């Protein structure tokens, strides 16, 4: 599980094209929608324009080519 979490963090950082370091409060996997939600401690900083107002998390689809 620890290896999976480290790989997940690397994928997120690579996808954002920026160096990012954060402590993660929790990771939720919603298998019904094939989604992963990542809740960083202290919330999302420097939010991109596409960031929704329905929560302080990052999310991505496991259907993305690099997600698996």
Q: What is the pLDDT of residues 44-68, one digit of tens each?
A: 877 777 777 777 888 888 888 877 6
The residues that bridge with 40 in the sheet, in sequence order, are 24
What three-state secondary structure class fits 20? coil
* Long-range CB pairs of 41-45, under 8 A, 24+ apart, other chains included: none
pLDDT digits (tens, 9 = 90+) for 25-47: 999 888 788 888 888 888 887 77
Rounded (10°) CA dihedral 26, 11, 7, 62 = 70
Chain position carrying tokens 């929608």: 33
Q: Which two tokens stand for residue 68?
A: 């698996």
């Amino acid at each position: 599980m620890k290896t999976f979490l480290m790989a997940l963090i690397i994928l997120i950082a690579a996808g954002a094209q920026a160096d990012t370091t954060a402590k993660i409060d929790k990771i939720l996997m919603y298998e019904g929608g094939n989604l992963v939600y990542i809740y960083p401690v202290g919330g999302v900083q420097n939010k991109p324009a596409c960031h929704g107002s329905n929560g302080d998390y990052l999310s991505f689809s496991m259907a993305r080519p690099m997600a698996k």
